[in-house]
Amino acid sequence: MEHSDSPIFSMCKTGDLHGVKNLLTNDQTRQLLHAKDAHGNSLLYYASLCGRISLVKYLSELGLRDDEYRRCWWNALSLQTRSVLKLFNDYKNIPSTSSGMNTESNVLSVMHKLLMKCLHNDLNNSSSDQLLRESNSGEDMILRFKFKDQNQPTEFKCQSWIILSRWPQIVLFALKKVQLEKVINLPTLDKHEMNLCKLSAQDFENYVKRNNTNVIQQRLTRIITQEKNKLKELKSRYSMILGIPNLDMCNQALAKENFEMAQTNLKCIDFGSINANKEHFELALTYLYTTKIPPISDKYDIYCLMELGVMLNMKSMVDHIFNMLREANDNQQEDVLLNDLDPINYLFKDCKSKIDSLKKTSCNMGLKMVNSTDGKILLCHKSIAMSRCAFFDVLGNCDFEDGLKFKQQEATHELPVMELQQFSLESTLQTLLRYIYCEKAEITKSNAVELMHISDLYGLSSLSDKCEQFLCENTTSRDGNLFELYKLSIEMERKKWQRSLEPKALEFIEEQTRRQKINQAEIVRDLEDLDLNPDTIKKFKNASNSAN
């Protein structure tokens, strides 16, 4: 439809969002949405060409898309404009390195980036309090040490929700429940002894019996008693390693203290002088953020790292090194990280533990469903939300209306809130948010389609693929109109789901035609409207004919 003389094209070039909205909400001029000028250019083309990001977003939300030649993409004024176009168009074949497209990062790679930021932040020339006040990215905790190989104290700027998830024992230092040990005298770490310490009482008794198979029962009983006493002494020697407070103990300590005091003290913890080198604490931080300890060839460094872990009550790292030294199978460390980062117990429900409450108070971003009747805001952490999700990154950083509002709220120290149009169920948003944190998602028949659609829109291709796989495995004849689901798979360009649905949809068509609940003309028309290839359309014709 040509409307080359309409002022709406000039409005798109100059960025007159208000004027465009007035025209497109007017009954007499709303058909201008799909207008083309004399050169065949659309409203979206000119908004992209001139970098009018607010208009690109608005027109895309109304349904406009780039053309088959991707002219809006190639002629976009800025990478920000391209980022918005990416949210609404399929640009899979454009190389990400040259185009500035966002690609999904997994949790481990995001945590590695946050680690690098933590390790390379030089805080020594600035006020810690000032840096924390100015930070909008989530670094809300300062850890200060005077390492034995450094002349001046070293400070690390961290995110408290990560540290608390991986090192909850830090609250004991914040509450001054424990003091930093100046010198730790670890026992000689013998692999055989370490394995014995890890055995349960029953397993240890079975171990003694296996080593004394030819001993009479009366003597065996005495040997078991003697060996148990030796094990008790052995565990006493290893008590520093085995006796680090667990998560329950940390929560109990918090429950007895002033919560606000703990919250305040966690902002900056000065450990003072520590009998450790800076590089060993950096290795410890690497483990906390990524569960990875770089290969260490020198056993002395491994023992130093173990001593540091014991000094700082880093139970998870100490347990990992303990297992590593006794050559136990400890290959599930990435799963441990994802479990520790899982927000299910504090983002979506009332916190049952004080540690979870501390993590929730560190949230620095909100998500609000526009369609929600109660106006509820889901809290989250900006660093992981924007690093993992292209949609949130664009919405928070672009200079369209939503982005400007978000940044203004940050500047005035309000909670910045993103308003989301795409969700119909809060549970779907919760599922997506949980996946962003820990790559876990409870996909069900009730949320799979919506979650797949939104995951595509939000740049979470791995979650979208999981939803498609779920639908392929779980869509059955009991799920309603299989022909409608088949058409939906085509519209969503989900080839794998489409292939798995096709034989089921053909059976459905045959049955429905036999019952005279659908006719062939409707089937053919619907499939032709979807530009389905003639051979596939022929299959559906044959299925309909076989029922007659």
Read off the pLDDT of residues 409-443 as tens digits, 9 standing for 90 and up.
999 999 999 988 778 889 999 999 999 999 999 99
pLDDT at 128 > cutoff 80: no
Q: Is residue 3 situated within a structural domain? A: no
Q: Which of 433, 397, 431, 396 is nearest to 417 (CA)?
A: 396
Tokens 């013998």 correspond to 190
Q: Based on the fold, state whether residues 181 and 324 are members of the same structural domain.
A: yes
- pLDDT at residue 131 tops 70: no
Q: Is the pLDDT confidence value at 101 over 50?
A: no
What is the pLDDT, as a whole number, of residue 462? 93
As a whole number, mean pLDDT of residues 145-174 equals 95
Q: Are residues 195 and 179 in the same domain?
A: no
Q: What is the pLDDT of residue 133?
A: 44
Query: From its phi and psi, is residue 225 left (phi > 0), alpha (psi between -120 and 50) or beta?
Result: alpha
pLDDT in tens, 478-537: 888 899 999 999 988 889 999 999 999 999 998 888 888 888 888 889 898 888 889 998
Q: How far apart (Å, rounded) are the C-alpha atoms in residues 384 and 457?
A: 18
* Same domain assignment for residues 537 and 479: yes
Closest by CA to 11, choosing from 63, 54, 61, is 54
Q: Which contacts of 163-167 are long-range, i.e. CB under 8 A and separated by 24 or more positions? A: 163/288, 164/355, 164/358, 164/359, 164/362, 165/340, 165/341, 165/359, 166/288, 166/289, 166/316, 166/337, 166/340, 167/288, 167/312, 167/314, 167/316
- My answer on whether 195 and 180 are in the same domain is no
For position 546, what pLDDT does the model report? 77
Q: Give the total number of structural domains in the chain.
A: 5
Are residues 181 and 196 both part of a single domain? no
Please say whether the beta carbons of 500 and 475 come within 8 A.
Answer: yes
Give pLDDT, residue 151.
94
Tell me if 332 is assigned to some domain: yes
Q: How many CA atoms lie within 13 A of 242 on its CB side?
A: 17
Q: Say yes or no: 367 and 436 in one domain.
A: yes
Range of lowest pLDDT (30-39, 96-105, 387-396): 96-105
Cα–Cα distance for residue pair 451/214, rounded to 1 Å: 63
Whether 307 is covered by a domain: the verdict is yes
φ, ψ for residue 298 (rounded to 5)? Answer: -90, 120
- pLDDT of the residue at 520: 85
pLDDT of 97 above 50 = no
Pair 120, 177 in one domain: yes
Task: Provide the pLDDT for residue 96.
Answer: 42
Q: How confident is the model at residue 329 (pLDDT cuts 50, 70, 90)?
A: low
Report yes or no on 291 lying in a domain.
Answer: yes
| pLDDT band of 150, cuts 50, 70, 90 | very high
Let me know whether 176 and 114 are in one domain: yes
Confidence of residue 380 (pLDDT cuts 50, 70, 90): very high
| Measured CA distances, 505 to 465, 477, 499 (Å) | 21, 9, 10
Rounded-to-integer distance, Cα 145 and Cα 180, Å: 11
Which residues touch 446 (CB under 8 Å, ≥6 apart)? none
Q: Which domain holds residue 401?
A: 363-462
Averaged pLDDT for residues 279-289 = 95
Is the pLDDT reported for residue 217 higher than 80? yes
Q: Is residue 371 part of a domain?
A: yes
Q: Helices 461-474 and 448-457: crossing angle, nearest 10°?
A: 160
Range with the largest mean pLDDT of 10-14, 26-30, 333-337? 10-14
- Same-domain check for residues 141 and 254: yes
Residue 3: is its pLDDT beyond 70? Answer: no
Q: What's the pLDDT at 292?
A: 87
Range with lowest mean pLDDT among 92-106, 141-155, 195-209, 368-382: 92-106
Distances (CA, A) of 321 to 293, 314, 315, 333: 9, 11, 10, 12
Q: Indicate the residue among 440, 462, 484 that finishes a domain.
A: 462
- Ranges 115-129, 234-248, 313-327, 375-389: which has the least confidence: 115-129
pLDDT band at residue 122, thresholds of 50, 70 and 90? low
**pLDDT at 99 (0 to 100):** 34
Q: Cα–Cα distance between 513 and 546 in angstroms, integer?
A: 9
**For residues 390-426, b (16+ Cβ closer than 10 Å) or e, as one string?**
bbbbbbbebebebbeebbebbeeeeebbbebebbeeb
Q: Which of 341, 376, 410 is the last residue of a domain?
A: 341
CATH code of the domain containing 137: 3.30.710.10
What is the predicted pLDDT for the residue at 136?
53
Whether 469 maps to a domain, the answer reads: no
Residue 467 lies in a domain: no
> Is the pLDDT assigned to residue 344 strictly greater than 90?
yes
Spatial separation of the C-alpha atoms in residues 242 and 196, rounded to whole Å: 12
How much is the pTM? 0.78
Domain termination site, one of 462, 486, 514: 462
Residue 350 predicted with pLDDT over 70: yes
The answer on 233 and 248 residing in a single domain is no
pLDDT of residue 98: 31
Whether 89 shows a pLDDT value over 60: the answer reads yes
Q: What is the pLDDT of residue 207?
A: 87
- Percentage of the chain beyond pLDDT 70 is 91
Query: How confident is the prediction for the chain on average, in pLDDT?
Result: 86
pLDDT over 90 percentage in the chain:
47
Residue-wise pLDDT tens digits, 51-60: 899 999 999 9
CATH code for the domain in which residue 36 is found: 1.25.40.20
Shared domain check, 59 and 147: no
Decide if 140 is inside a domain: yes
More confident residue, 96 or 290: 290
Q: Are 157 and 144 in contact (CB under 8 A)?
A: no
Tell me: do 498 and 538 sit in the same domain.
Answer: yes
